[in-house]
Chains A and B, each alone.
Chain A
């Protein structure tokens, strides 16, 4: 697999840090090397939030992702900001409910998922992030979908155990989204 550099970006409150944390834990459980680095600071409140996740077979060097292999964006400012930073042949995942424009670049693979709409219709309006993650896992194989619930248990605290099922449902919806 080598090294996969992932950048996840959106508004504060959409759960982009959580999405990255979930992928990081899944990688940990698979015995891979990894790093997770959030943006932090005042820009997180209502502004843009992002996190860098690196999953690798080898020790991770710089934890900062400037040129992602995988870009998952959940708002227009994030697509505007990072589209050109992605490497050639990158896989770009767009929440097409919230981002109306298409990816302009033609040297990348793009996936449009109406994640926010899907989440709203399914009554799990806060989990568009995990629908996106499901699709990311399906298309990139950066982590395996097997035993996915084990990683969920690591990031969903025992106090919120009732949220395991809906998170799992969101992941499944994304993983099985075929358009």
Chain B
């Protein structure tokens, strides 16, 4: 077992990516994720990898496209405004069925916004961001350990399903330090017979492309892609449940909001209110079944978010609107306090919905 070290969440992502076999990083600095690029700049040259500060986010994501086409594990990272710039590339990656890991350490928006933590890119991440029918696997870490673990998971899932995996974190997760244990022991790799690696005149050449001008063929590509998405939805939805066995008031939160909410749930229990927490670890696929099952016992749901209310729509869809869903939120870089979440739980328990 490796020793525990203290690391910032951003550094944990960078080191875990290296452990996962990623040797190619392309990025452009932006707060609050710059430590990822800084870490890669320091480490990659020492281990025979590539660190390249691109001329823009658009350039960086297209470098990811090229490197992934050649079959290598590759990543880029940014924060909210930068992710909007990368969205075109994300759509092209999806259209070409290329695996990649993309990290978004979110900050308040819209526009250039601020630099404090936010979760307001939920829609952009879970609905695609770029144009066309596609999804990314979206992973939402809630600790520095998970920043590392889900980075490795992200590379694996991306390769397994030939999709882009996104780490959707926020400024708090990126900047905070916690003990973390890093290991490359169980990293899985996958064959990539589709990669453009040179035919050596021994096989038919591979083509990586997202252009398809025959609508019948393009439709078939979309159908095939959505078959894969269906498999992902069936097999890869993940969440953590906390005190949910007898929960009547179910808080749903991810990332930093889940950490805050956990305090509130404990405080509610101390007051005799049967509160529980469902923490989605994958935002796409969303852990619908766990939520639907929880609706049997729960009287109300509370979606806690650092946004104007985005995940709340997925909560309502998942429980098929069988129960009221309340929103407890802050926006623009502000974070709800445990007291604010507790007050919302008490409001629900008091029947004021």
Contact = CB atoms under 8 A, between A and B. Distances in A.
Interface of A: 21, 24-25, 28, 33-38, 40-42, 60-64, 66, 154
B172 A34 contact: no
B53 interface: no
Contacts of B126: none
A66 B260 contact: no
A37 to B, nearest CB: 4
B87 interface: no
B337 interface: yes
Given A24-B177, A63-B259, A64-B335, A37 B172 contact: yes
A36 B172 CA distance: 10
A60 B178 contact: yes
Given A40-B115, A41-B116, A61-B260, A34 B179 contact: yes
Interface residues of B, number: 23
Contacts of A62: 256, 259-260, 262-263, 338
B184 interface: no
Given A61-B259, A62-B259, A63-B172, A40 B32 contact: yes
B178 A35 contact: yes
A4 to B, nearest CB: 15
B30 to A, nearest CB: 13
Contacts of B259: 60-63
A36 B178 CA distance: 6
Contacts of A25: 6
Contacts of A28: 4-6, 179
A124 B5 CA distance: 29
B172 A64 contact: yes
Contacts of B150: none
Interface in B87-139: 115-116
A30 to B, nearest CB: 11
Given A28-B4, A63-B172, A40 B31 contact: yes
Contact of B176 (A33, A35, A41): A35
Interface of B: 4-6, 31-32, 115-116, 171-172, 175-179, 256, 259-260, 262-263, 266, 335, 337-338
Contacts of B32: 40-41
A41 B171 CA distance: 10
Nearest to B173: A63
Q: Could you tell me the dominant secondary structure of chain B's interface residues?
A: mixed
Of listed B4, B176, B266, residue having the most chain A CB within 10 A? B176
16 contacts: A25-B6, A33-B179, A35-B176, A36-B176, A37-B172, A37-B176, A38-B176, A41-B31, A41-B32, A41-B115, A41-B116, A61-B259, A61-B262, A62-B256, A63-B172, A63-B259
What is the interface of chain A mostly: helix, strand, loop, or mixed? mixed
A37 B262 contact: no
Contacts of A40: 31-32, 115, 171, 175
Which of B4, B177, B263 has the most chain A CB atoms closer than 10 A to its own CB? B177
Contacts of B335: 64
Contacts of A33: 179
Nearest to B175: A40
A60 B263 CA distance: 9
Given A21-B177, A28-B179, A66-B337, A36 B6 contact: yes
Given A36-B177, A63-B172, A64-B260, 20 more contacts: A28-B4, A28-B179, A33-B179, A34-B179, A35-B178, A36-B6, A36-B176, A37-B176, A37-B177, A40-B171, A40-B175, A42-B115, A61-B262, A61-B263, A61-B266, A62-B256, A62-B338, A63-B178, A64-B335, A66-B337
Nearest to B337: A66
Contacts of B260: 61-62, 64
Contacts of A41: 31-32, 115-116
Nearest to B178: A35
Contacts of B4: 28
Given A61-B263, A62-B259, A154 B6 contact: yes
Contacts of B5: 28
Contacts of B115: 40-42
Highest count of chain B CB atoms <10 Å: which of A35, A61, A62? A62
A142 to B, nearest CB: 16
A21 B171 CA distance: 18
A62 B6 CA distance: 17
A60 B4 CA distance: 16
Contacts of A21: 6, 177
A154 B338 CA distance: 32
Contacts of A35: 176-178
Contact of A38 (B31, B175, B256): B175
